[in-house]
Structure 1
Amino acid sequence: MQLKILKTEKDYDKALNRIDELMELNPKIGTPESDELEILVLLVEKYEDINWNIETPDPIEAIKYRMEEMNLKQKDLIPYIGNKSKVSELLNRKISLSLTMVRNLSQALHIPVETLIKSI
């Protein structure tokens, strides 16, 4: 495959197919095939970053989403945030997440810390 910047969906699909072919070969590092594979992966990553960039979700929206998924009510967050009024203030964006809240919510709700610290 001729290596070039991926500009279209067709280019992207060709690159993915070639990556599959090269992965099947399992080339040794330092061979032309492994170099081609590495370059193609970089090109695909760049194309995906440009065309399908997914932002980190808003921390409060992530908490609300997880609450909905887990069928939790505001009162269920009291052990991780503090008290009923703090939970309400946090979900209504009147207070910010503290580091302790981030740690607790990340562990309890399985939300990545990176998502929760976006607002800190």
Structure 2
Amino acid sequence: MTDAVKPIHTDEEHAAAVAEIGRLWDAEPGTPEHDRLEVLGILVDTYEAARWPIDPPDPVEAIKARMEQAGYTRGQLADLLGSQSRATEILGRRRRLTMDMAWKLSQAWKIPAETLIRPYETRPD
């Protein structure tokens, strides 16, 4: 544990940092070990975000995920978007979200607006 904490540049350094995090996992807050744990966590997170970026879901997948996560129904989506047919068209990718729909979803269901306004594929009628 006397080794200095350094930036992570390789998968090997990443694996070593993850192993060290495992060893330090139960460190008491306020101790040097806990400080090291926090710094290693930040370094690992930064490396992983750069090495294995995760694209946000497209708008339709984000809506479906939020519905599943929160237990929202198609009826609730229809109420939010204005009609059952509109909700069905959005979920079936036959219609794009308008800015007004994206805003309502973002405000009511707390889906990030950046996710809802991303371009996505639609299916022809």
TM-score (ref. length: structure 1):
0.65
Task: Tell me by how many angstroms 1:98 deviates.
Answer: 0.5
Matched length = 101
Match of 1:6 among 2, 5, 9: 9
C-alpha spacing 1:69/1:4, structure 2 compared with 1 (3 Å): closer
Moved over 4 A (4+): 1-5, 41-44
Q: Deviations over 1:74-110 (max 9, x none)?
A: 1111232121101100000001010000110011111
Q: Which amino acid aligns with 1:68?
A: E
SS at match of 1:56: coil
C-alpha spacing 1:44/1:101, structure 2 compared with 1 (3 Å): closer
Q: Structure 1 or 2: larger helix share?
A: 1
TM-score (ref. length: structure 2):
0.63
Comparing 70-79 and 59-68, the one that deviates more: 70-79
**Aligned counterpart, 1:116:** 116
The answer for unaligned runs of 5 or more in structure 1 is 25-36
The answer for unaligned runs of 5 or more in structure 2 is 22-31, 121-125
Cα RMSD of the aligned pairs, angstroms, is: 3.1
Q: Percent identity?
A: 36
Say whether the 8 Å CA contact 2:7–2:43 is kept in structure 1.
no
